[in-house]
A = this chain, B = another copy of it.
Amino acid sequence: MKKLINSADTILEESLDGFAAAHADILLLGAERKFVRRRTLKPGKVALISGGGSGHEPLHAGFVGLGMLDAACPGQVFTSPTPDQMIEAAEAVDTGAGVLFIVKNYEGDVMNFTMAAEMAGREVASVVTNDDVAVEKSTYTTGRRGVAGTLIVEKMVGAAAETGLPLAALTALGEEVNRRTRSMGVALLPCTVPAAGRPNFALADNEMEMGVGIHGEPGRRRVPLASADAIAAELLDAILKDLAPGKGSEVLLLVNGFGATPLIELYLMVNAAKRILDSAGVAVVRFLTGSYVTSLDMAGVSITVSVLDSKSTKLWDAPVQTAALRWGV
């Protein structure tokens, strides 16, 4: 295992301290590093809180700030955060308009956020994301996994929350964006959880895992390495079959690296994906390209397609000021 660390036990705290120092203009670390919160709250705005296991950076703490999340609760690497983290985060950022939890669909996350919602002693609603079309059940999941599409939910609901939309409407919006959003990924190289010290799955030199999860969970099938065009075609075939966007639909295309994939390859995948979507009569009108929902040092890519309308396009374009996404401010 080759990592820039001091000890497997202190990675999360040391990384959070560096993160908080680097972005002190927009966020603060909560007591005992239980959550990362927006520095300046907007009274009367519904508070948006997400979280999950670490190792997916910049998700979620990188999306804390104006126009997106009010707080994020980081668990240990690939481990759900605990209910007390969400409860204390809610206490810190709820200004009276209620709290919306945005939760990726993994059993541990859903259980702990549900428990926190019940125990928080305040008005809490939840949106559970499940955009991954690869498999219906997975290692840590009943139903579909929540993956990179989660950031689109966080961005759009975050923008709507800034306009003063109430909790029930934000919940409905989050569910709607989730329904319009589908993802699938492929791994070329596995990731190594620091505490384990060795890759969490094995791939031969000519193999890839099609439909991989963001913790390296198995996908649909293990297949020989293929060209970028063939990979894009298989991922988009699965996505479009499930999403069934009408001809002439306008979409946001997110090409997401898993942590060890260089940008030159991600933009090549953008090109491949756009050509396929063009042929399918689907117009890509917004793009996001980069490593936003990662799996430690896994190499590979996921493609996410989110169907837009004029409302959601405006929400996507609205100002955002976070560590990982920043525009309009």
- What is the interface of chain A, defined by CB distance below 8 A to chain B? 2-7, 11-12, 14-19, 21-23, 54-55, 57-58, 62, 77, 188-189, 205, 208, 225, 227-229, 231, 259-272, 274, 284, 287, 289, 291, 294, 296-297, 299-301, 326-329
Contact of A57 among B4, B54, B264 (CB under 8 A): B264
Complex alpha-carbon distance, A7 and B228, angstroms = 9
A271 touches B188 (CB 8 A): no
Least CB distance, A204 to chain B, in whole angstroms: 10
Residues in chain B near residue A22, CB distance under 8 A: 267, 270, 287, 289
Q: With A22-B287, A189-B2, A231-B4 in contact, do A11 and B264 touch (Cβ < 8 Å)?
A: yes
- Given A4-B300, A15-B265, A18-B272, 12 extra CB contacts under 8 A: A2-B299, A3-B265, A4-B301, A6-B268, A14-B271, A15-B267, A18-B268, A19-B289, A21-B274, A23-B287, A326-B326, A328-B329
Contact of A274 among B11, B16, B18, B208 (CB under 8 A): B18
B5 touches A262 (CB 8 A): no
Residues in chain B near residue A4, CB distance under 8 A: 188, 228, 231, 261, 265-266, 268-269, 300-301
A2 touches B205 (CB 8 A): yes
Residues in chain B near residue A328, CB distance under 8 A: 329
Complex alpha-carbon distance, A77 and B2, angstroms = 26
Q: With A225-B2, A326-B327 in contact, do A18 and B262 touch (Cβ < 8 Å)?
A: no
Contact of A15 among B15, B205, B264, B296 (CB under 8 A): B264
20 CB < 8 A contacts A-B: A4-B188, A4-B300, A4-B301, A5-B268, A6-B268, A12-B264, A14-B228, A14-B271, A15-B267, A15-B268, A15-B271, A16-B267, A18-B267, A18-B269, A19-B289, A21-B270, A21-B287, A57-B262, A57-B267, A264-B296
Least CB distance, A181 to chain B, in whole angstroms: 18
Residues in chain B near residue A62, CB distance under 8 A: 263
Residues in chain B near residue A300, CB distance under 8 A: 4
Complex alpha-carbon distance, A6 and B287, angstroms = 21
Q: Which residue of B lies closest to A189 (CB)?
A: B2
Q: Which residue of B lies closest to A208 (CB)?
A: B2
Residues in chain B near residue A260, CB distance under 8 A: 259-262, 297, 299
Complex alpha-carbon distance, A15 and B271, angstroms = 7
B227 touches A262 (CB 8 A): no
Residues in chain B near residue A291, CB distance under 8 A: 262-263, 291
User: Which 4 pairs between the two chains have the least Cβ-Cβ distance?
Assistant: A18-B271, A18-B270, A22-B287, A260-B260
Of A12, A225, A228, A262, chain B has the most CB atoms within 10 Å of the CB of A262
A272 touches B14 (CB 8 A): yes
B228 touches A6 (CB 8 A): yes
A263 touches B189 (CB 8 A): no
Complex alpha-carbon distance, A19 and B58, angstroms = 21
A267 touches B19 (CB 8 A): yes
Complex alpha-carbon distance, A274 and B20, angstroms = 12
